[in-house]
Amino acid sequence: MKKLIQGIHHFQANLFSSQRELFERLARGQQPVALMITCSDSRINPNLITQTEPGELFIVRNAGNLVPAHGGPVGGEAATVEFAVVGLGIRDIIVCGHSLCGAMKALLDPDSLRQTMPAMCAWLGHAEATRRLLEEKYPDLSPADRLNVAIQENVLQQLDNLRTHPAVADRVARGELKLHGWVYKIETGEVFAYDPGREQFLPLAAGPEEPALAHGALVAERLS
């Protein structure tokens, strides 16, 4: 806590005063350019990765960057997505997974959670389709490659879940909203974006990114 309190004092004494115009503008309202749905992992900093200022990203964070499909109990994710799309008029949503994801490790070994973290075990039910896909399509991968593919496939599955939300589906159909799948590699700082034409996650600078359309042949070694 001491470190956090010292940080607040430093922010107020140095950063806030030097960017007072920015914060005065933010006090009048927000106009974020995108919604990013990413993991709660403390090693992920969406604004640092994208080099965005306060007010530029609308952010949802949870364990595993999950988006529960429409039709179940309404939670924070559904409400935030709806507010971003309808209330703020956001035109781009990014689901961003990351390498070394503890939630995906747990997804692949659910028995490790049932006794000690039942709430987490239940939450990962929103990624059950990812776990089943790994069992069916990638039974022979090494543990490291299996985790890397799970991270990528989970991003695509959460994009599918997003499309079940009425506000998202409507605007995607009208061409007013694009969905993007990214994976951030902690070890190198690289960001990979899903290319539906090549059915792979490719370095973000390699080409234009379009909404992910289907699960494809993912490249496990890119995250190794």
Full DSSP string of 7-51: HHHHIIIIIHHHTHHHHHHHTT----SEEEEEE--TT--HHHHHT
pLDDT confidence of residue 146: 94
Query: With 60 as the cut, is the pLDDT of residue 50 above it?
Result: yes
Which range has the worst mean pLDDT, 58-62, 68-72, 117-121, 210-214?
210-214
For the stretch 155-211, pLDDT in tens is 999 999 999 999 999 999 999 999 999 999 999 999 999 998 888 999 986 444 443
Spatial CA neighbour of 57 closest among 65, 46, 66: 46
pLDDT confidence of residue 181: 97
Written as one letter, the residue type at 220 is: A
pLDDT band at 222 (very low <50, low <70, confident <90, very high): low
Q: 10 Å Cβ neighbour count for 118?
A: 10
For the stretch 202-215, pLDDT in tens is 998 644 444 333 33
Residues of the chain with pLDDT > 90: what percent?
71
3-state secondary structure at position 61: strand
Task: Please compute the mean of the pLDDT values over residues 70-74 and round it to a whole number.
Answer: 82
Task: Please compute the mean of the pLDDT values over residues 1-7 and round it to a whole number.
Answer: 90
Query: With 70 as the cut, is the pLDDT of residue 224 above it?
Result: no
**The pair of three-digit structure tokens given for residue 2, joined into one six-digit string:** 């001491």
Q: Which domains does the chain have, with CATH numbers?
A: 30-223 (3.40.1050.10)
**The pair of three-digit structure tokens given for residue 51, joined into one six-digit string:** 């080099």
